[in-house]
Amino acid sequence: YRGFILRSAFCIYRNKEFLQHYYVERFPSLDKPDKTEYIFKYYGFCFPVSDRLFTADFEGIQSNELTFGVYAQVKRNTKRFMFGITSGIAANVFRAPYSTKVALHYRGPGLIKREHLAELTVMDRNDPVIPREALQYLGDGSDMIQM
């Protein structure tokens, strides 16, 4: 899926005195794009510190991947976006460690719903539904280290 943009669903919620989050990723089949090939679900904690949001989580289906993220609120808009990076490492040698840019786009309060899940996929960079500000931040990947 190199060169595509992943649309996932990310939800932050309060659990007593902790902020927790979960997110879901869906990857379509390369042979049958209307079918989902892979689903990943992550569960973790959020730590807000000085206008930054730090996250630590684990993948819950295969239970073999840890990811970490740091995001900053974009102050020049109506607080709809947080931009940052995430990195992760899996417990097996077939999944290389990674780090990538992330654009979080606020969609509204509440937990993840079925209609959110139906929208999850990888998207072509030229898809007009991708917010322009997010696309500018994500860039074309030429500034990223490729392994």
Q: Grade residue 3 by pLDDT with cuts at 50, 70 and 90.
A: confident
Q: Tell me how many domains the chain contains.
A: 1
Convert 65-86 into a string of H (helix), E (strand) and C (coil): EEEEEEEEECCCCCCCEEEEEE
Classify residue 147: in a domain, yes or no: no
Provide the residue range defining the domain that includes 59.
Answer: 5-138
Within a domain: 143: no
Specify the DSSP class assigned to residue 49.
E
Helix (H) or strand (E) holding 116: helix 114-118
Is 146 part of any domain?
Answer: no
Please tell me the pTM assigned to this model.
0.87
pLDDT higher than threshold 70 for residue 35 = yes
Paired with 69 in beta bridges are 55, 86
- Please report whether residue 33 resides in a domain: yes
Answer yes or no: is 42 within a domain: yes
For 54-82, what is the mean pLDDT?
A: 89
Q: Is 61 part of a structural domain of the chain?
A: yes
DSSP E strand stretches across the chain: 5-7, 9-15, 18-28, 36-49, 52-59, 65-73, 81-90, 98-105, 121-123
